[in-house]
Structure 1
Amino acid sequence: MYKRKTKIIATLGPASEKLIDELLKYVDVIRINFAHGDEDQHKKYFDLVNNRAPILVDLPGPKLRIGVLEKGPITLKNGDVVTFGDKGIPIEDPIFFKLIKVGTEVLIADGVIRVEITEVNENSAKGIVKEGGLLTSRKGINIPDADIPLGITPRDLKLLKEALDLGANYIGLSFVVSEDDIRKVKEIVKGKAWVVAKIEKKAALKNLKNIVNEADAIMVARGDLGVEVGLPNLPQTQRKIINVSRKYGKPVILATQVLESMVNSPLPTRAETIDVANSVSQGVDAIMLSDETAMGKYPLEAVKTINDLIISVEKTFKPKKTKLYRNVDEAVAYSAVIASVLSSASVIITYTRTGSSAIRISRLRPVVPIITLTPSEDLTKILKICYGVYPKKVEELKSLDDIVKRAKEEAIQMGQKGFIVIVGGVYGDKGETTRFLKVEELD
């Protein structure tokens, strides 16, 4: 049976919380957006997942947002005059009124709604709708070129502690602009979770290599990023982030408006299916659904659709290879992939204590699955985000013979036949790691 290599992340929300059992048949990672809800709701969602899948917690960062619309969603039409604040559309952070002036264009919901400001007061403002749409509570606000204070907010720190206490496996860090942002969070996380840097600011692109090097994984957050760089520049920007992430061996997630039409439709558009295909062929590790599963009318259909799309594309297109670093570990990983091709092996099996060998092989995008045996319970969850990696917890294996024996047992149990490639490392008497690669033929 074909194993899908590109992973699926689905956001849990009001539309999908009652469908969690069905979602987990298709989804590799569950996302919980801490920009919404309170402590009770966050815990409820963790309890619903009940340790059956790794969880990505998204921190809100210093993002301007619409407040809660007490009377529900509002339909804004072109030419409507709207009021922000002062019993009009609520704004969460009053700094909004200091960042705008007459003539400022305010972009809402990743730029879907556009309003031109016509009047500004201390705690209110008016504007005319240039591009209408359905406005819902807590949608993000973008003000192009505004000098919004960035960095880790006090609210982020509070939510970070909450996420770690609940057992989050990944922390999504919003509006990263430098590697220092990531280091600050890593000092708090202390290896309990991976830190995922969300690339959504122009400043981040100028410092992309350093950010990628410091982060555990990268997210192409196309919503705010599209507003920042402009839609005509978004495709090449996406490709650049993916290429740099893969070059430095960091898993990369594609996010935002992947199947946006499926919020209200049971079928995707033709353009969306091609977008997914392009992203898979570019070599992303995972694709994330947001509104589609959090608040859409067809969350389960969206997950099934992207699962089918990915499988179809993977059987046809192969992501391009990345350039290699010149060191022993990369040589072993590269040799493992070449050996799997020349021997027509059905699987690569790696034994790892840190996950590094699985990640190195994953970035080379082999055509066969990478079964990763590890004694670490945490790694069995964290590595699920990586392309083609299928982690499994095993006992501590202390010798080369033990690893080979356990790998062959696992392959036979999976129903594999013919050749398999085994990669791993064992510690010698002096503490050094002995790296090895072995091709075995199953009886």
Structure 2
Amino acid sequence: MNLKKTKIVCTIGPACDSSAVIAEMLEAGMDVARLNYSHGTPEKHADAIKKLRAAARRLGKHVELLVDLPGPKTRVGLVKNNSVRLTEGGKIVLTTRKVLGTSKQVTVNLPEFPRLVEAGKVIYLADGLIELKVLNKTRLDVECLVTVGGELNSLKGVAIPNVLIPTPALSKRDYEGIRFAVAHKVDFIAQSFVRRANDVRELKKTLSRFKSGIKVVAKIEDALGLKNVDEIIAASDGVMIARGDLGVQIPFQDVPFAQKSIIKKCNATGKPVITATQMLESMIHSPRPTRAEVTDVANAILDGSDAVMLSGETATGEFPVRAVQAVSLIAERTRLYSR
């Protein structure tokens, strides 16, 4: 088996939005810069694009740009100082009212949220890092017990396993992101929570109205998207295995096999596939990856991933350049092994 070069997708954020760090990441092996439209402002993203293109020109490098749309994801609102700590055994109210979040209450951006849960239901926040259990509810509020605590940041995801939330394929915020992507002539748009081929077709139809040739990468993030993955692959220009949400929407022990299956299907049809989320999660705070993370990245490449993606590792982590260097080293060593 002779592996092709695996691309490295890096999320741009506060930890790496300076010209100097962007240049170092390009030198380290960044191929694609991801702009997460769930966070940041259009002005911030535009500034990042300007710096990315300038650094690439200066270094004689090529960098592609990917705008990741928020999608119909249920999220908490803004929280005080951008971070609050939820303590195990404490109580928190998830409310549909607009409040500045604290450890006692936080907004959820879904008006029908209380209707979708019952007492005893488990709710996950922040890709499953925080676990809540529903105690009771009113028309606007859901009171929960914190069963697994942790730090909760603004705009983090809310997941209700085995509950299908009826949402449109594209939200108002998505349309803003599409207009931004078209105006800045990016290469790819990642569409979040794709559940069926028609979701992709709707985005492509919108792009055609703008006379844009931006490629659409469909993110597989829940059980319905997984069920319809064949038709989604056929309709899209590429696929992202978004393991964060996928790992709370389906049993976590099923994620490795879903990953392998999607990669195999994409390889068979010639569609690029990105493996994403928690690739080198420990490097948000550590200068070196764990052995398990090194093995995970290598196995994703051996399985046939065209690209692997860094999220918090580069966007908010303490060692963004080292994280890119680590993926580069693992990818190169994996290619040598496979010859």
Give the TM-score, by structure 1 length: 0.69
CA distance in 2, matches of 1:315, 1:16: 30
* Preserved CA contact (<8 Å) 1:97 1:124: yes
Task: From the CA coordinates, give the structure whose radius of gyration is larger.
Answer: 1
Match of 1:60 in 2: 70
Equivalent residue in structure 1 for 2:40, among 30, 37, 42: 37
* Preserved CA contact (<8 Å) 2:160 2:249: no
Aligned pair in 2 of structure 1 residues 148, 231: CA closer, same or farther (>3 Å)? same
- Is the partner of 1:36 in helix, strand or coil? coil
Equivalent residue in structure 2 for 1:170, among 164, 188, 212: 188
Equivalent residue in structure 2 for 1:159, among 145, 167, 177: 177
CA distance in 2, matches of 1:312, 1:57: 30
CA distance in 2, matches of 1:170, 1:71: 32
Equivalent residue in structure 2 for 1:22, among 13, 21, 24: 24
* Preserved CA contact (<8 Å) 1:77 1:131: yes
* Preserved CA contact (<8 Å) 1:13 1:294: yes
* Preserved CA contact (<8 Å) 2:221 2:242: yes
Tell me how far 1:94 sits from its aligned partner: 2.9
CA distance in 2, matches of 1:255, 1:47: 25
Q: State the AA in 2 paired with 1:42.
A: H
* Preserved CA contact (<8 Å) 1:62 1:149: no
- Is the partner of 1:10 in helix, strand or coil? strand
CA distance in 2, matches of 1:209, 1:200: 14
CA distance in 2, matches of 1:179, 1:172: 14
Q: State the AA in 1 paired with 2:242.
A: A
- Is the partner of 1:71 in helix, strand or coil? helix
Q: Which 4+ runs in 1 deviate beyond 3 A?
A: none
Deviations 1:220-243 (A, max 9, x none): 111111112211111111000000
Q: State the AA in 1 paired with 2:269.
A: Y
Match of 1:73 in 2: 83
Q: Map 1:219-298 onto structure 2 (within 5 A).
A: 219-298=240-319
CA distance in 2, matches of 1:153, 1:162: 14
Aligned pair in 2 of structure 1 residues 112, 224: CA closer, same or farther (>3 Å)? same
Tell me how far 1:126 sits from its aligned partner: 1.6
Deviations 1:5-54 (A, max 9, x none): 11100000011112111111120000000011222122122222126321
Q: Map 1:229-378 onto structure 2 (within 5 A).
A: 229-317=250-338
Match of 1:194 in 2: 215
Q: State the AA in 1 paired with 2:8.
A: I
CA distance in 2, matches of 1:109, 1:42: 23
Q: Give the gaps of 5 or more residues in structure 2.
A: 57-62, 100-104
1:204 maps to 2:222: no
Equivalent residue in structure 2 for 1:82, among 66, 79, 92: 92
CA distance in 2, matches of 1:276, 1:185: 30
Deviations 1:165-203 (A, max 9, x none): 111110001111111111111122235211001111211
CA distance in 2, matches of 1:93, 1:27: 36
* Preserved CA contact (<8 Å) 2:239 2:273: yes
Q: What percentage of aligned pairs have identical amino acids?
A: 37
Q: Give the gaps of 5 or more residues in structure 1.
A: 319-443
CA distance in 2, matches of 1:124, 1:317: 54
Tell me how far 1:147 sits from its aligned partner: 2.7
- Is the partner of 1:147 in helix, strand or coil? coil
CA distance in 2, matches of 1:137, 1:41: 17
Task: Tell which deviates more after alignment, 85-94 or 302-311.
Answer: 85-94
Give the TM-score, by structure 2 length: 0.89
RMSD: 1.7
Equivalent residue in structure 2 for 1:137, among 154, 159, 167: 154
Q: State the AA in 1 paired with 2:53.
A: N
- Is the partner of 1:161 in helix, strand or coil? helix
Q: State the AA in 2 paired with 1:94.
A: P
Tell me how far 1:66 sits from its aligned partner: 1.3
Tell me how far 1:104 sits from its aligned partner: 1.6
* Preserved CA contact (<8 Å) 2:67 2:177: no
Q: How many residues align?
A: 316
CA distance in 2, matches of 1:208, 1:83: 35
Match of 1:120 in 2: 137
CA distance in 2, matches of 1:213, 1:140: 28
Equivalent residue in structure 2 for 1:105, among 117, 122, 142: 122
Deviations 1:357-387 (A, max 9, x none): xxxxxxxxxxxxxxxxxxxxxxxxxxxxxxx
Task: Tell which deviates more after alignment, 216-225 or 77-86.
Answer: 77-86
CA distance in 2, matches of 1:49, 1:94: 38
Tell me how far 1:91 sits from its aligned partner: 2.2
Q: Map 1:372-411 onto structure 2 (within 5 A).
A: none
* Preserved CA contact (<8 Å) 2:218 2:240: yes
Q: State the AA in 2 paired with 1:61.
A: G
CA distance in 1, matches of 2:304, 2:67: 23
- Is the partner of 1:92 in helix, strand or coil? coil
Match of 2:59 in 1: none
1:6 maps to 2:6: yes
CA distance in 2, matches of 1:70, 1:189: 37
* Preserved CA contact (<8 Å) 1:216 1:250: yes
Deviations 1:411-439 (A, max 9, x none): xxxxxxxxxxxxxxxxxxxxxxxxxxxxx
Q: State the AA in 1 paired with 2:66.
A: L
Larger RCO (CA under 8 A, 6+ residues apart): 2
Tell me how far 1:68 sits from its aligned partner: 1.1
Tell me how far 1:4 sits from its aligned partner: 7.5
CA distance in 2, matches of 1:133, 1:97: 23
Q: State the AA in 1 paired with 2:115.
A: K
